[in-house]
């Protein structure tokens, strides 16, 4: 930590020296941007038999206001610097019972929290940019996951280049992640990795990792392996190449190397075109995960005297089509094969944010469970062509066919069904209102022994400046 701080201080001092004569101008010409956000969530649970809860139905909710405020200096000789402050502030009274208080908008203690999520120095030349420090990145398995009040942010260095015609490259090395309040939906006891604990497994499937601490920057190793981890690693190194040289075609390849834990390859191809009266978009992807180096996650999941392998794969396809009158359809399919005996039995390990690229429902992120096939059928309508009001209405149906090697509750199989409704009203270019409803049947169903269903409503307001 001292070495990293010393290196950053050196860069700052050199930058200040080089820009001393124009520092005032660089700050005067800098830009301020931000977003005000208000979020209300209300979820009513229906617990089936086996949970010993009385009453069987209860409602929990949460209300927060906050957002972010960012500043970036103007560029001078290619250098600039920036910082972004994020905050989520609890408005409703903190409930004594977690059954009544929805913590997914808030900090680890269920209250307000704030964080300096970005603080970086950048340098750009020709078609290359380098950014060092706390920043936002968006990769398949390290992403903002801005599903509630605030996004995840990361600490490291990112280099982007577009010297090759129609091709963009991105190379990054990340050492720490700041996890947002959405992780509170999976409360891992004491943030300790326990291989047979359902919350440990669900955290790794749902995008958090057992060792997260909401609002704090934690090392990549601790997030994957829990706060009882004693091993240091080099973090995560990733590389991306995106090619757009064919008309309407986009080809992407990602390699995310989590040192001494796992390697993740993601390949994706997309095609966008106008076909007759339809605006169409089609895409396919494939993901493969394997252990590397010291296989620290496989060692942590050793409950029988033998280290487990990280061995998971996933593939999917989607097709979207719309008419100029505002009507659209959205069809998606994802399959995550079983890999019996591996970490999570083949479920997709996902600790740094980044949900399944094709199927994300409001109530369930089950597409990453092993031995699971997932489908989504959606219909949407934009009222703007008819009424000149920028109002988008969407209805989506999800079905998750979960097999017995699912990684969360391996040994049980069930089907989860969900219907989501969305109304998104773009009041002005800067002001947006959103109402959401989610009705999830059998989020969990262990053959009648235990079952959970719930209904959820959200009201969200955004104002960008």
pLDDT for the residue 25: 79
- pLDDT band for 49, please (50, 70, 90 cuts): low
Q: Return the closest-CA partner of residue 121 out of 261, 241, 7, 21.
A: 7
- pLDDT band for 99, please (50, 70, 90 cuts): low
Q: How far apart are CA 403 and CA 416, in angstroms?
A: 11
pLDDT for the residue 133: 98
Please write the tens of the pLDDT for every residue from 206-252: 999 999 999 999 999 999 999 999 999 999 999 999 999 999 999 99
Region 184-210: mean pLDDT is: 95
- pLDDT band for 28, please (50, 70, 90 cuts): confident
- pLDDT band for 303, please (50, 70, 90 cuts): very high
The answer to whether 193 and 211 are in contact (CB under 8 A) is yes
Please write the tens of the pLDDT for every residue from 432-451: 999 999 999 999 999 877 88
- pLDDT band for 94, please (50, 70, 90 cuts): low
Question: Among 42-46, 52-56, 313-317, 357-361, where is mean pLDDT lowest?
Answer: 52-56
Burial of 8 (0-12, 13-18, 19+ CB in 10 A): middle
* 54 has pLDDT over 70: no
Please write the tens of the pLDDT for every residue from 329-340: 999 999 999 999
The answer to whether 378 and 402 are in contact (CB under 8 A) is no
Mean of all residue pLDDT scores within the chain? 92
In which domain, by residue range, is 317 found? 2-464
Q: How far apart are CA 217 and CA 180, in angstroms?
A: 10
* 354 has pLDDT over 50: yes
Q: How many domains does the chain have?
A: 1
Please write the tens of the pLDDT for every residue from 114-165: 999 999 999 999 999 999 999 999 999 999 999 999 999 999 999 999 999 9
In this structure, the strands spanning 414-426 and 128-135 are: unpaired
* 109 has pLDDT over 90: no
- pLDDT band for 202, please (50, 70, 90 cuts): very high
- pLDDT band for 12, please (50, 70, 90 cuts): very low
Region 332-349: mean pLDDT is: 97
Question: What secondary structure, in 3-state letters, does the chain show?
Answer: CHHHHHHHHHHHHHHHHHCHHHHHHHHHCCEEEEEEEEEEEEEEEEECCCCCCCCCEEEEEEEEEEEEEEEECCCECCEEEEEEEEEEEECCCCCCCCCCECHHHCCCCCCCEEEEEEEEEEEEECCEEEEEEEECCCECCECCCCCCCCCCEEEEEEEEECCCCCEEEEEEEEEEEECCHHHHHCCCHHHECCCCCHHHHHHHHHCCCCCCCCCCEEEHHHHHHECCCCCCCCCEEEEEEEECCCCCEEEEEEEEEECCCEEEEEEEEEEEEEECCEEEEEEEEEEEEECCCCCHHHHHCCCCCCCCCCEEEEEEEEEEEECCCCEEEEEEEEEECCCCCCHHHHCCCCCCCCCCCCCCCCCCCHHHCCCEEEEEEEEEEECHHHHCCCEEEEEEEEEEEECCCCCCCCCCCEEEEEEEEEEEEECCCCEEEEEEEEEEEEEEECCCCCEEEEEEEEEEEEEEC
- pLDDT band for 344, please (50, 70, 90 cuts): very high
Q: How far apart are CA 7 and CA 9, in angstroms?
A: 5
pLDDT for the residue 19: 44
pLDDT for the residue 13: 38
pLDDT for the residue 98: 57
In percent, how much of the chain has pLDDT > 90?
84
- pLDDT band for 100, please (50, 70, 90 cuts): confident
Q: Return the closest-CA partner of residue 41 out of 463, 460, 461.
A: 460
CATH number of the structural domain spanning residue 386 = 2.40.160.10
Q: What would you report as the CA-atom Rg of the chain, rounded to the nearest whole angstrom? A: 23
The answer to whether 81 and 122 are in contact (CB under 8 A) is yes
* 4 has pLDDT over 60: no
Region 9-37: mean pLDDT is: 66
* 68 has pLDDT over 50: yes
Degrees, nearest 5: CA angle 54-63-362:
75
């Amino acid at each position: 930590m001292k070495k990293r701080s010393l290196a950053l201080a050196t860069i700052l001092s050199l930058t200040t020296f080089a820009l001393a004569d124009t520092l005032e101008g660089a700050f005067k010409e800098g830009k301020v941007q931000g977003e005000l956000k208000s979020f209300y969530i209300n979820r009513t649970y229906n617990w089936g038999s086996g949970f010993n809860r009385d009453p069987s139905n209860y409602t929990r909710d949460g209300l927060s206001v906050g957002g972010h405020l960012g500043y970036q200096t103007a560029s001078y000789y290619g250098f600039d610097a920036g910082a972004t402050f994020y905050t989520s502030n609890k408005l409703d009274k903190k409930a004594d019972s977690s059954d009544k208080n929805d913590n997914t908008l808030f900090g680890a203690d269920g209250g307000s929290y704030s964080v300096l999520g970005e603080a970086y120095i950048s340098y750009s030349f020709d078609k290359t940019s380098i950014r060092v420090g706390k920043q936002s990145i968006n990769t398949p398995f390290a992403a903002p996951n801005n599903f509630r009040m605030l996004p995840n942010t990361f600490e490291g260095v990112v280099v982007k280049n577009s010297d090759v015609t129609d091709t963009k490259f991105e190379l990054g090395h990340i050492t720490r992640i700041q996890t947002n309040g959405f992780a509170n939906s999976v409360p891992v006891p004491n943030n300790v990795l326990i291989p047979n604990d359902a919350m440990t497994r669900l955290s790794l499937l749902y995008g958090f990792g057992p060792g997260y601490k909401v609002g704090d920057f934690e090392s990549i190793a601790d997030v994957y392996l829990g706060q009882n981890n004693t091993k240091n690693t080099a973090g995560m190194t990733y590389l991306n190449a995106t090619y757009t040289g064919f008309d309407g075609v986009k080809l992407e390849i990602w390699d995310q190397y989590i040192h001494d834990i796992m390697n993740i390859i993601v390949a994706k191809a997309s095609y966008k075109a106008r076909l007759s009266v339809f605006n169409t978009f089609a895409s396919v992807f494939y993901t493969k995960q394997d252990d590397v180096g010291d296989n620290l996650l496989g060692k942590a999941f050793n409950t029988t005297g033998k280290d487990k392998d990280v061995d998971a794969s996933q593939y999917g396809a989607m097709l979207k089509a719309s008419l100029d009158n505002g009507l659209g359809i959205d069809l998606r399919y994802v399959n995550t094969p079983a890999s019996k005996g591996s970490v999570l039995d083949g479920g997709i390990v996902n600790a740094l944010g980044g949900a399944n690229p094709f199927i994300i429902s409001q109530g369930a992120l089950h597409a990453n469970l092993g031995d699971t096939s997932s489908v989504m059928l959606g219909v949407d309508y934009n009222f703007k062509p008819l009424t000149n009001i920028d109002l988008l209405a969407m209805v989506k149906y999800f079905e998750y066919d979960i097999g017995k090697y699912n990684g969360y509750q391996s040994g049980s199989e069930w089907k989860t069904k969900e219907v989501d409704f969305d109304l998104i009203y773009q009041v002005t270019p800067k002001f947006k209102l959103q109402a959401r409803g989610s009705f999830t049947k059998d989020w969990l169903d262990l053959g009648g022994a235990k079952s959970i269903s719930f209904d959820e409503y959200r009201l969200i307001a955004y104002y960008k400046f």
